[in-house]
């Protein structure tokens, strides 16, 4: 509920989190990690990537199931 804290040798921050009514947390971590990997592969900053991943994971917990809860890109942006 307080966001995601990140720290490396160059920067540290807490990335914002979107508040939602969670229905099922199955696969939220998988969605977060997948979204984070996509963003980093596209050379987005750590902060942009983690905020995007937070939003993707937040959306995923508003639906039941694992694969069926993963949001499409147009739902996140």
Give residue 56's domain range: 4-76
State yes or no: is 30 an active-site residue. yes
* Packed helices 28-41 and 46-60: angle between N→C axes, nearest 10 degrees: 150
**Would you state the pLDDT for residue 16?**
85
Give the pair of three-digit tokens for residue 41: 């592969």
Among the listed residues 13, 30, 40, 47, the single catalytic one is 30
Tally the domains of the chain. 1
Q: What is the pLDDT along the chain (77 residues), one digit of tens a residue?
A: 788 999 999 999 999 888 999 999 999 999 999 999 999 999 999 999 999 999 999 999 999 999 999 999 999 98
Q: Helix/strand/coil (H, E, C) string of 8-65? A: CCCCEEEECCCCCCCCCCCCHHHHHHHHHHHHHHCCCCHHHHHHHHHHHHHHHCCCCC
């Amino acid at each position: 509920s307080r966001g995601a804290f990140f720290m490396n040798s160059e920067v540290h921050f807490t990335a914002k989190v979107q508040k939602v009514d969670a229905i099922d947390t199955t696969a939220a971590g998988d969605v977060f990690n997948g979204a984070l990997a996509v963003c980093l592969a596209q050379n987005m900053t750590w902060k942009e990537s983690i905020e995007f991943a937070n939003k993707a994971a937040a959306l995923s917990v508003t639906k039941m199931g694992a694969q069926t809860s993963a949001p499409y890109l147009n739902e996140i942006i």
